[in-house]
Structure 1
């Protein structure tokens, strides 16, 4: 099963999230608001990437 990783860049105004697979292909790239509703929607989108692209592997290691 392919593993995917999600990385977050916490900016002053808008965090940016990227989800990549093992080959480094971007599955999701999004600037988000610091808002609970948007964060919950983002979690759902990352879970959908895991279902489509493989298993989500938690990591504290930067993707780039």
Structure 2
């Protein structure tokens, strides 16, 4: 099973992250301000979304 993918659009004042699963289904799509706390929360949400869809044969998130 292919790994999930996350892409980011980094900007000066805000960033946007989209995460897709192996079927190209959008799992997470979120825009956050350019703030360390917000970015860390976004990374946590992306990791949680990956873990929620994990199966015994899928790669680690």
TM-score normalised to structure 2 length: 0.76
Moved over 4 A (4+): none
Residue pair 1:4, 1:53 contacting (<8 A) in 2 also: no
What is the total number of aligned residue pairs between the two structures?
Answer: 56
1:12 deviation in Å? Answer: 3.8
Instruction: Find the counterpart in structure 2 of residue 51 from structure 1.
Output: 51
Q: Which digits, 9 at most, give the CA deviation of each residue in 1:18-48, with x for residues without a partner?
A: 0000111000001111101101101110110
Q: Give the unaligned 5+ runs of structure 1.
A: 57-64
The reply on whether 1:4 has 2:21 as its aligned counterpart is: no
- What value does the CA root-mean-square deviation take over the aligned residues? 1.6
Residue 59 of structure 1 is matched in structure 2 by none
- CA–CA separation in structure 2 for the residues paired with 1:36 and 1:26: 24
Higher-RCO chain (CA-CA 8 Å, sequence separation at least 6) = 1
